[in-house]
Amino acid sequence: QVQLVESGGGLVQAGDSLRLSCAASGRTFSSYAMGWFRRAPGPEREFVAAISGSGFDKNYAASVKGRFTISRDNAKNTVYLQMNSLKEEDTAVYYCAAANTLWAVVSRSVNYWGQGTPVTVSS
């Protein structure tokens, strides 16, 4: 029912900024909480950020607080991840996700996943 497509990844230097976008299909976008996860080389996928359907409630992983900002534009069916002060350890494939509630995103109870967009941070 819902398809998610990420974009905006690339190769940047440490300290640079990057904005990721996730475009969603469907006409019930505002009813979903959204989130971002990332996967470094290997099988594990790490929670990064989550936002409620209204956009007024947000949660972040401790490793990105103060550097990353999640936002959404429901009129455009799009969620964003603004990444500032990037570090080498931020290098990963970043995935967009949709779930029933913000808590579901944080708890990894995800209904839909995007295909991922790679981010590489070099020193």
Q: How far is CA 65 from its chain centroid?
A: 13
Answer whether 20's CB lies under 8 Å from 7's CB. Answer: yes
Alpha helices in 1-123 (DSSP H): 102-106
Structure tokens belonging to residue 87: 């570090």
Summarize pLDDT for 53-65 with one digit per residue, the tens: 999 999 999 999 9
Summarize pLDDT for 66-86 with one digit per residue, the tens: 999 999 999 999 999 999 999
At 1, the pLDDT band (50, 70, 90 cuts) reads confident
